[in-house]
Amino acid sequence: MIVPCIDLMDGKIVQLIQGRDKALELTDPDALLARFAAFPEIQVIDLDAALGRGANDALVRHLCSRATCRVGGGVRTPERAHALLDQGASKVIAGTAAFTGTGLNEPFLRALPRERTVIALDSKSGHIVVKGWRESTPFTAEEVLSRLEPYCSGFLCTYVDKEGMLQGTDLDWFRRLRAATTLELTAAGGITTLDEVRALLAMNVRAALGMAIYTGRLDLEELRALL
């Protein structure tokens, strides 16, 4: 499956480079949803909530009322997860709160609805990063995948090293992750070419696409043909 991404900040749709520098900003969510209408699922990330500086709940509700959206950003309590589901999210994406300084945050994970939870394993320089990619953990995605399987229906794995840079992604890393779990796996971060999308789909990995489709590096009509 191909999953277009919508990132939210200050009530607008944005794309960031490396999670920091704003590359573009859009203000018409309905026009964007119309462009993505052929795709069965949209990924929505509330960057303000991820960074702990507010939330875009009204916009999340609007998007969820018009498309099937899995939603992440600031899911640090079970209450927040259930609030997003109540706002219409088909699934929630949890990342930072899944970990403590020494391992998994099992009380938090056990309180989530497993079949409607996706765990984000965003990785930079080989290690999982949290708190809006501001802090590194001692864990690698490969070593925690199997331990997290009882708590979720799938994983979102972002190759942060190339996220938003349009320089390609690390297909070998995604192959290793695919071999480490039988659950649904979604790749993100740096995916730039149709060949990369085809390679991910061939290994039964979903492709979450952001910057490449907003800038036109990937053509939506050509992507639709792969569905």
Catalytic residue among 57, 122, 161, 172: 122
Catalytic residue among 7, 30, 48, 161: 7
**Residue type at 120?**
A
For the question of residue 122 being annotated catalytic, the response is: yes
Tokens standing for residue 169: 């992604």
Classify the C-alpha dihedral 83-95-189-165 as positive or negative.
positive
Tokens standing for residue 24: 């573009």
Classify the C-alpha dihedral 51-56-61-64 as positive or negative.
negative
Which helix (H) or strand (E) covers residue 141, if one does? Answer: helix 141-148
Please state, as a whole number, how many other Cβ atoms lie within 10 Å of the Cβ of residue 127: 14
Give the helix ranges, DSSP H, for 37-151. Answer: 47-50, 57-66, 78-86, 106-110, 141-148
Interatomic CA distance for residues 196 and 177, integer angstroms: 16
Q: Which of 123, 3, 17, 124 is nearest to 70 (CA)?
A: 3
Radius of gyration in angstroms for the set of CA atoms belonging to the chain, rounded to a whole number: 16
Interatomic CA distance for residues 183 and 61, integer angstroms: 28
For the question of residue 86 being annotated catalytic, the response is: no
Question: Residue 53: which residues within 8 A CB-CB, separation 6 or more?
Answer: none
**Catalytic amino acids?**
7, 122
